[in-house]
Amino acid sequence: MSEIIQDLSLEDVIGDRFGRYSKYIIQERALPDVRDGLKPVQRRILYAMYDSGNTYDKNFRKSAKTVGDVIGQYHPHGDSSVYDAMVRLSQEWKLRHVLIEMHGNNGSIDNDPPAAMRYTEAKLSRLSEELLRDINKDTVPFVPNYDDTTTEPMVLPARFPNLLINGSTGISAGYATDIPPHNLGEVIQATLKYIDNPDISVSQLMKYVKGPDFPTGGIIQGIDGIKKAYETGKGRIVVRSTVETETLRSGRQELIVTEIPYEVNKSALVKKIDELRADKRVDGIVEVRDETDRTGLRIAIELKKDVNSDAILNFLYKNTDLQISYNFNMVAISDGRPKLMGIREIIDSYLNHQIDVVTKRTRYDLFHAEKRMHIVEGLMKALSVLDEVIAIIRGSKNKKDAKDNLVAEFDFTEEQAEAIVTLQLYRLTNTDIVALEKEHGELEAKINDLRNILDNHDALLNVIKDELKEIRTRFKTERLSRIEAEIAEIKISKEVIVPSEETILSLSRDGYIKRTSVRSFNANRVDEVGLKEGDALLSHLETNTQHIALVFTNKGRYLYLPVHKLPDVKWKDLGQHISQLVPIENDEYVLDVFTEPDFKQNADYIMATKNGMIKKSELELFKTTRFNKPLIAMKLKDNDELINVMRIEADQLITIVTHTGMSLTYSTDELSSTGLRAAGVKSINLKDDDVVEMTQLIQPNDTILMATQRGAVKRIGFKVLSEAKRAQRGIKLLKELKSRPHRIVGADVISDPESIYTIYSNKDSFSGKVSDIHLTEQYTNGSFVVDTDEFGEVNALSVSVPETSKDE
């Protein structure tokens, strides 16, 4: 053997070898492909399971069998690396939608290792079938495997945008990727909108993709960071645990963590909090317990008595993984090279892949349909001259001779002749020609459809859209992560419950109540109140810690709450849910709150229901010594509920607005005082299909604002109303339409025209100034402020008074 010795510098050799190695791990190991969102090992696992029939509709199979198939045919690496990747595809706290279903111990959120592969069983999930669907129809390129004994796909057909839905994380040479998971329904909706409008902006896409949707839930803060990431591929958000406050029988409070940030190790988090307690870095924690069970995640942090729970929680947010920063780094393989991509580029790359997949699948289906059509035409022709065909076959020497004779005599093609000579005798019946004619017609229609898809780009896009909609319908789920626009500032404070003093009491629509110091309230605007996503401020009022709060609910009940027992928190903090103070029913919600210094004043409460009942009760009747459960304020009939509560000290005018646009105005002196358990009297005479939307006190200078389900807002002045008697039909406020009549879904009496109104649908909200809505006459339907095709049907209206000057 002759030796060939090359004289090379070490620097050149190492640079060349490392460059080759880097190229390999970037392209073939650590980064996902933008088209199917999978790394090579994940793609090989899914394809190996699919190829061996280990699908969702079959029985589970030993994981070791799959691992063996993968390393034996496609992935020449260690079995542990393949099994680890396989396990991750089955972990619901890692993937938003798991791609593999696994029986047995597949690890835990505490980072416990899974059972050995010989003990666990697995199969493809139902959703992963959509990644592999049509792979046998020449839709994706196949390449030889590592030893040229078989072939493997370079990419999967991926009938849904898996990269965004399940996200990805990985580190290679010089590149890393962190793509968070998203909600399947939102991503597909955004893809559909992109197909319809390729020039759609990131801001418009964010109407559909609100942000990441982590499988572990939590609260995401920072819409600006989300938008930046969607535009550039890089951005920062804050992910915060979902924490509630519970009160123990001993009077102590405990923080209950039910959701933690994505990819946080729960056991390490619990250990860290307990270390802070043991090291006395935070004073006020008695015990930390991991109470997680099969019903869900739960970490209990028990606090000392009279400790400010919000201050401790803020300390834990700052010093533990109860709150983390998540940095987008959306790098994926595109056209064979790593690329930092925004959401539009990811969707565009995915769409181009789908166009290619559907085009190839259509060509495949067209080829086989035309091939079958050719055979069917030959069989139909043969049946039309059946006797001659039989005679020729009987007179032939062998099969080949019979085929040659048929071709020569009747101009059959080779394929048609083959089909004729292999035809079974039972198919020579009269029924078979009918079946062939039916099949011929179906094939003809199918071929026309397939050719139309290939010739018409819009038809091809419609196919993609229809298939995406079908996947969305089958697999969409509700969001798990809530999104808050701003990253909350963490201020660590060790304040305790303040003594009796002037305070601000606030109540939200979702039932969160709190008292706040006047200083904290004055330091912020009214609209900066701490609220959960989708919640709104119902009422805030100045009171004293010695006063009593009366909270009325839709069930005709009231809660008697001493103000000093309410949670004392900052204006920007959430407060405590009313049910943690007094137990209420699951479908019961708060309507309004009033405070009383005592119950000796000459005042009355007026309560009105949606079915048109009303009652007046004296203030002194509401005093009680038992306040650990809700008390009856008004007896309600079946299917009725309380909608408005008013407090008066002298007779006033009251006005009612109904769903169909009727209105009645009368004086409260028509109401007699009754006991709390009374059902009241009829307020307005309603038609069978009508309900009351609003019952409120009104002054001559006030106006009424109404919103209809069609997105119209109407404002009328006091002069439109006419004072009448109780229990009449009233006057009509809307113009009746035969087609799609307007129906009032919310109304409010406006004292200050500078107030802000907000209308809501199931998917959006819109706000505006009341003064921008001009006063109109009686028989009009107002002005349209939203398009319900985009906005959705309006279902609610709320009005907030403008912020008063801090100098006043």
The tokens for 237 are 């958000």
| Amino acid found at 302 | E
The rounded distance, in Å, linking the Cα atoms of 670 and 654 is: 10
Residues 420/406, Cβ–Cβ less than 8 Å: yes
Q: Which CATH number goes with the domain that contains 257? A: 3.30.1360.40
What order do you get walking across the sheet with 219-221 strand by strand? 168-171, 176-179, 323-329, 234-240, 219-221, 482-484
Does the structure show a pLDDT above 70 at 71?
yes
Q: Which pair of tokens denotes residue 513? A: 């109540």
**What is residue 43's predicted lDDT score, i.e. its pLDDT?**
95
The Cα 772–Cα 754 span in angstroms is: 9
Of 414, 442, 475, which residue is a domain's last? 475
Q: Which two tokens stand for residue 316?
A: 């834990």
pLDDT value at 392 more than 90: no
Mean pLDDT over 451-463 rounds to 93
Is the CB of residue 776 less than 8 Å from the CB of residue 715? Answer: yes
Q: Check whether residue 308 and residue 260 sit in a common domain.
A: yes
Residue 398 maps to a domain: yes
d(CA 758, CA 611): 25
Asked, for residue 284, whether it belongs to a domain, the answer is yes
What does residue 742 show for φ and ψ, rounded to 5 degrees? -70, 140
Residue 123 lies in domain: 38-157
As given in the structure block, the two tokens for residue 528 are 């900066």
Contact 533, 483 (CB under 8 A): yes
Claim to verify: residue 253 and residue 308 sit in the same structural domain: yes
- Smallest Cα–Cα separation from 161: which of 423, 449, 464? 464
* Confidence at 803, pLDDT banded by 50, 70, 90: low
Q: Token pair for residue 500?
A: 């009796």
Dist. CA 675–CA 617, nearest whole Å:
6
pLDDT at 430 over 80: no
Question: CA-to-CA distance for 131 and 348, rounded, in angstroms?
Answer: 18
399 contacts 417 by C-beta, under 8 angstroms: no
What pLDDT band is residue 499 in, cutting at 50, 70 and 90? very low
Of 439, 443, 382, nearest to 416 by C-alpha is 382
Q: Which residues contact 637 (CB under 8 A, 6 or more apart)?
A: 611, 613, 679
pTM of the model: 0.60
For residues 151 and 100, membership in a common domain is answered with: yes
Rg (C-alpha) for the chain, rounded Å, is: 35
Which residue's structure tokens are 């729970």? Answer: 309
Question: Catalytic one among 50, 74, 83, 119?
Answer: 119
Q: CATH number, domain at 123? A: 3.90.199.10
Q: How many domains does the chain have?
A: 3
Q: What is the mean pLDDT of the chain?
A: 89
Question: Any idea how long the chain is?
Answer: 808
Percent of the chain exceeding pLDDT 90 equals 61
Q: Tell me the residue type at 633.
A: A
Per-residue model confidence (pLDDT) at position 524: 77
Question: 270 with 358, same domain?
Answer: no
What CATH number corresponds to the domain at position 452? 1.10.268.10
Asked if residue 387 and residue 304 are part of one domain, the reply reads no
392 and 308 assigned to the same domain: no
Mean pLDDT of 185-204: 95
DSSP notation for 442-483: HHHHHHHHHHHHHH-HHHHHHHHHHHHHHHHHHH----SSEE
In this prediction, residues 567-585 reach a mean pLDDT of 88
Place of tokens 């049907």: 793
Q: Which residues contact 503 (CB under 8 A, 6 or more apart)?
A: 515, 516, 517, 518, 542, 543, 544, 545, 563, 568
Structure confidence at residue 806 (pLDDT): 35
Would you say residue 401 has pLDDT above 70? yes
Whether residue 767 contacts residue 709, with contact meaning beta carbons closer than 8 Å, is answered with no
Q: Give residue 429's pLDDT.
A: 67
Query: Residue 119 catalytic?
Result: yes
Residue 99 domain-assigned? yes
Q: Quick one: average pLDDT of 338-359?
A: 95
Strands (E), 273-362: 285-290, 299-303, 323-329, 331-334, 337-340
| HEC assignment per residue over 704-770 | EEEEECCCEEEEEEHHHCCECCCCCCCEECCCCCCCCCCCEEEEEEECCCCCEEEEECCCCEEEEEH
Count of beta carbons in the 10 Å neighbourhood of residue 511? 21
447 in any annotated domain: yes
pLDDT, tens digit, for every residue of 242-292? 999 998 888 888 999 999 999 999 999 999 999 988 876 777 788 999 999
- If you ran DSSP here, which 8-state letter would residue 28 be given? I
State the Cα–Cα distance between residues 424 and 679, nearest whole angstrom. Answer: 83
Do 310 and 389 lie in one domain? The reply is no
Are 470 and 366 within one domain?
A: yes
| Residues 266 and 359: beta-carbon distance below 8 Å | no
Dihedral sign from CA coordinates of 161, 167, 170, 175: positive
- Is 510 part of a structural domain of the chain? no
Q: What is the pLDDT of residues 658-708, one digit of tens each?
A: 999 999 999 999 999 999 989 999 999 999 889 999 999 999 999 999 999
- 373/440 same-domain check: yes
Helix (H, G, I), strand (E, B) or coil at 234: strand
**Contact of 353 with 35, CB cutoff 8 Å:** yes
Residue 304 shares a structural domain with residue 379: no
Domain boundary residue, one of 129, 157, 185: 157
* Rounded Cα–Cα distance for residues 689 and 154 (Å): 61
Task: Quote the CA–CA distance of 280 and 140 in Å, as a whole number.
Answer: 60
Q: Is residue 417 part of a domain?
A: yes
The pair of three-digit structure tokens given for residue 699, joined into one six-digit string: 């002054």
CA distance 66 to 84: 12
Phi-psi region of 470 (alpha: psi -120 to 50; beta: other; left: phi over 0): alpha
What is the DSSP annotation of 485-528? SSPPP----------S-EEEEEEETTSEEEEEEHHHHHTS-GGG
How do strand 219-221 and strand 482-484 relate by DSSP bridges? Answer: parallel
Specify whether 74 is located in the same domain as 141.
yes
Q: Where are the alpha helices (DSSP H) in 74-155?
A: 79-88, 128-132
CB neighbour burial string for 306-316, b if at least 16 within 10 angstroms, e if fewer: ebbbbbbbbbb
Which DSSP string corresponds to 348-397? HHHHHHHHHHHHHHHHHHHHHHHHHHHHHHHHHHHHHTHHHHHHHHHTSS
Q: Which of 270, 301, 321 is the last residue in one of the domains?
A: 321
Give a yes or no: residue 260 inside a domain. yes
Residue 42 lies in a domain: yes
Which residues have C-beta within 8 Å of that of residue 238, sequence separation ≥ 6?
220, 221, 222, 323, 324, 325, 326, 487, 488
Do 464 and 417 belong together in one domain?
yes
Average pLDDT over residues 182-196: 95
CA distance 807 to 786: 36
pLDDT in tens, 737-789: 888 899 999 999 999 988 989 998 988 889 999 999 999 888 888 899 899 88
* Residues contacting residue 592 through CB under 8 Å, at least 6 positions apart: 507, 538, 539, 551, 552, 644, 645
